[in-house]
Structures are given as C-alpha cells and as structure tokens.
Amino acid sequence: MIKILLLALALNTSANTIKDLEKEFLQKGDTLSYYIADENGKVISSNENQNLIPASIFKIFSAYYILDKLGTNFHFSTSISYRGDIENGTLKGDLILNTSGDPYLLTPQIFDLIESVAQEGIKKVDGNLVVVNNFVNIERIGTVGLDDQPYNQSISGFNLNFNRFKSIGRSTQKSIFPKHDGFQTISSQKSLGPGVGFKNQNKNNQDIEKWQYTNTKDYFVEVPIRNSLAFNAYYFKKQLEQRGISTSGIKITNKEQSETKRLNTIKSPSSLDLVKLAMEYSNNLFIETLTLKATNKENLADAAKKMIKDLKIKTKGKIENSSGLTTETRITPKEIVNFIQENANQKFGSHYFINLLSITGHSGSLHRKYLNDDGFEKFRYKTGSIDYVYNICGQSFEKTKRTFCIMINNLQKRKLVDGKNTNRTERLREEAKGWRRAKERFSELLLLQM
C-alpha cells in the first residue's frame, strides 16, 4: 500500500512538473506534441497524434533512405576533358566540363581541374567551354523564408561553394562581390523590404545572376545563387582566364560529349560522409542532391514522394522536398519515434544509423548543454527548426533506452511569417529567436522528466 502511494505521488509530481514547464515556457497559440517510448514498451505522451511541421527532423528519413539506396560508398564526380588538337598552346576544339551534381565541390577542386588544363600546355581554347549538366536544374529548394536566405539555394549538375555568393563589406564601405560576366549587382539606396538585404532580379530564366542589395552592417553575408549552372560556369571561365587560359565562350548542354581526352576527375566525399555532414550541419543541399540520385527523379517533390512511399511513412499535407524546408508537410511525433525505433540499429558499413545523429556534449544544439551530468554523451538526436517551429527527436541511452520526439509549433504565427513581408512579420521574425530559445529550454527540461 505504501509503495503504491509513493508511486502515485511520484507520477503526480512528474505531471505537475510538466504542467509547470508548459506554463513557464509555452505561449498562447503554441501546440505541443510529444511521444516518448522506452525499450520495455512504456510510453509517455501528450497529443501524440497531432500532425505538425517537422522541419529538418525530416532529414532522419532522408538520411536513412539515401544510405539504404545508394550505399555508403557512392561518389559524385566532376571531370575536365577536351576535344580536338593542341597546336602551340592553342586547343583547336572545345574544353569540356562534365558535372554530376557534387554538392561539396569547392574552389580548391576547381583549381585542380584548371591546373590539369594548364599542365597539358593549353593557353588558348579556340572553341567553347562546354559545361555538361548531367543532373537537374532547379531554382530553389523551398519557398520558405526571404529570398536571400543562404540555406535555400538552387541545385544543378554544377554545384560550387554550396551555391552561395559572398558579400563582404560594411554600411560605411563599398561591398565586395565575386566578379565575372555571369553576375551583376545593383546597389539600392532604398529599403528592399523589412529584413531584406538582397533581392533577386533574375527574370525569364536569364543566364546572368542579378541581385539588388542595400548596404548591410554585417561584414560577411552569404546569399543563395538562383541559377547555379550558369553562375558557376562563368565563375569557372573566369578562373581559367586568371590562370592564363582564354576561351571563346560558354556552351551549356545536357548532351554527352564524344571523342574527348580526359585530363582530371574530382570525386566527392562518399555518400556516408556527406550524410554525416548533412546531419551534423543540417545541410539541405547535401540531402536534396543525394535523394535525387537515390530516387532518380527530376524534381525535389517527386523524389521526396518516392522516398516517403518506399519507407511507408505516414504524412499529411503537401510534400515539397526531402530536407524539410517547407511548412506544408505534417507528421506526428509517434510516427517519427516508430521509425527511429525500427531503424536505429541498422548498420551502414561500420556505422549504426542512430550514431549518425548529434551527441549531447559533442555536437548539435546540445553540444554545450548536457541536460545534467548524467546526460553527457547519453543522447543521440536531431533538431528541426524554422521560425515558430522547434522539434527534437532521437534516443537516450541511460539505464533504460528511450526513443523520444518533442514537437512544438505555433502555426498561427508561422502562417503570418509566411504571408506578405511587412514590418509586423519582420518583428515576428525577430521575436522568433527568443521563442526558439524558450522552446529549446522547455524541451531540455522535459527530457529530464523522462
């Protein structure tokens, strides 16, 4: 009888504590849904069948699917070759760049490709720089956020430097941008809109990347490229010229080129390494390019739909992409917990899937927040957040292993942020920073109640 009374008191205290946390950290309009299941089948849950916006939690499904379909040792490749004869340093023909969608191609690798041309003795190309796009050509990953958000870039066969350009400068100084024939910037003395530093001016799929901007107080800003295929082709041509190799022009095609001599090939990190990076840094470009390869689809929505169908995941709403950069898709925390429980110990190469997630005390948003002394290195988790959306899902490895998913959305404020850009929505975006901090703290304290 005494044991039963003590248990009842303990459960009641836990319930009261959770209610106290909700009262302290949740606001009007916040929807909380969580599902926590231990290895013995015991479940603690609240509103677990509520479908909410997953944001980057969606990458848990994508990461698993990519490794299941592509394996751990798939590599993208980018190669340089030529067609024709070389006479006294002049190539009587075309220089050919074959692309495949490598999302981790960086300027040092471009220098490697160009150096192989120089070492062949080529100083002038009578023909064109032919860029072969053996992949998709998509303007943006999602429709969420302002136009200049760096995580929402384009995707093509020629992805370079994460498909972002860099702006360096202060409001009192002239800004510095990349300089080549495929890029144009227009300084504006007027505001481009609340919170807007850069506004895209590309129209009718033009080859030249054009952005209007206002001077910013930030010294270093990254802006997404909308036509990565053309922008990066012009960038490559400019780097050739700086190495002393001139070309007649640029030709972009999706047709394979025959009768060529290959000079150099750059391979990306493995699919396993790219997935590790994507999970650690929540990289949308890595996830989307890999899912496109895994599904062999031509657009992000079809690739994501095939992934969801193959994995037999239950979702609500519109499926737009595989990285979670959308407010249209909905899912329940119970569905996520069931997936993690089922696949946590799936082995990919030498790695168990669950260990691809962030670890408390080492990485992710909890790298400096151990929950408590016992929580250090005991949690594997993935977070997903955009303005007024915060989720954390994973497993804890304490005395009893638990799989958890906590989702908090304020759908009313999220809808306002997605609407017309006004001073009000800019204030909401600023307030969202504090909102997220409160939800992070709530989730950490809730995990302690497990």
| Predicted confidence (pLDDT) at residue 217 exceeds the cutoff of 80 | no
Determine which helix (DSSP H) or strand (DSSP E) holds 278, and give its type and residue range.
helix 271-281
d(CA 361, CA 26): 26
Q: Which of 238, 267, 296 is the last residue of a domain?
A: 267
> According to the model, what pLDDT value does residue 318 have?
97
What is the average pLDDT across 248-266? 94
CB atoms within 10 A of CB 58: 29
Residues 347 and 261 in one domain: no
How far from 209 is each of 11, 92, 185, 212, CA to CA, in Å?
60, 30, 8, 10
Does any domain span residue 221? Answer: no
Residues 288 and 245 in one domain: no
Output the six-digit token pair for 333: 């925390």
Residues 319 and 249 in one domain: no
Residues 250 and 392 in one domain: no
Does any domain span residue 118? Answer: yes
Q: Which of 245, 267, 289 is the last residue of a domain?
A: 267
pLDDT digits (tens, 9 = 90+) for 372-419: 787 889 999 999 999 999 999 999 998 899 999 999 999 999 999 999
Q: Which of 267, 283, 317 is the last residue of a domain?
A: 267
Does any domain span residue 285? Answer: yes
- The residues facing 221 across adjacent strands are 167
For residue 239, which phi and psi values (nearest 5 degrees)?
A: -70, -35
Q: Which range has the worst mean pLDDT, 187-196, 324-333, 385-394?
A: 187-196
d(CA 14, CA 10): 6
Residues 275 and 239 in one domain: no
| Predicted confidence (pLDDT) at residue 2 exceeds the cutoff of 70 | no
81: domain CATH number is 3.50.80.20
| Predicted confidence (pLDDT) at residue 261 exceeds the cutoff of 70 | yes
What is the average pLDDT across 181-200? 91
34: domain CATH number is 3.40.710.10
What is the average pLDDT across 213-227? 84
What is the average pLDDT across 330-349? 97
Residues 352 and 263 in one domain: no
Does any domain span residue 62? Answer: yes
Does any domain span residue 427? Answer: yes
Residues 252 and 376 in one domain: no
pLDDT digits (tens, 9 = 90+) for 42-63: 999 999 999 999 999 999 999 9
> According to the model, what pLDDT value does residue 85 have?
96
> According to the model, what pLDDT value does residue 5 have?
35
Name the residue range of residue 263's domain.
Answer: 77-136+230-267
Using pLDDT thresholds of 50, 70 and 90, give the confidence band for residue 220. Answer: confident
Does any domain span residue 146? Answer: no
Does any domain span residue 130? Answer: yes
Residues 59 and 91 in one domain: no
What is the average pLDDT across 352-381? 88
Verdict on whether the full-model pTM lies above 0.85: yes
The string over 229-268, giving b where at least 16 C-beta atoms fall within 10 Å of a residue's C-beta and e elsewhere, is bbbbbbbbbbbbeeeebebeebebeeeeeeebeebbebeb
Residues 239 and 363 in one domain: no
Output the six-digit token pair for 56: 């980057």
pLDDT digits (tens, 9 = 90+) for 266-278: 999 999 999 999 9
Residues 102 and 247 in one domain: yes
Q: How many domains does the chain have?
A: 2
Does any domain span residue 183? Answer: no
Residues 409 and 357 in one domain: yes
Residues 341 and 428 in one domain: yes
| Predicted confidence (pLDDT) at residue 14 exceeds the cutoff of 80 | no
> According to the model, what pLDDT value does residue 215 have?
73
> According to the model, what pLDDT value does residue 448 have?
82
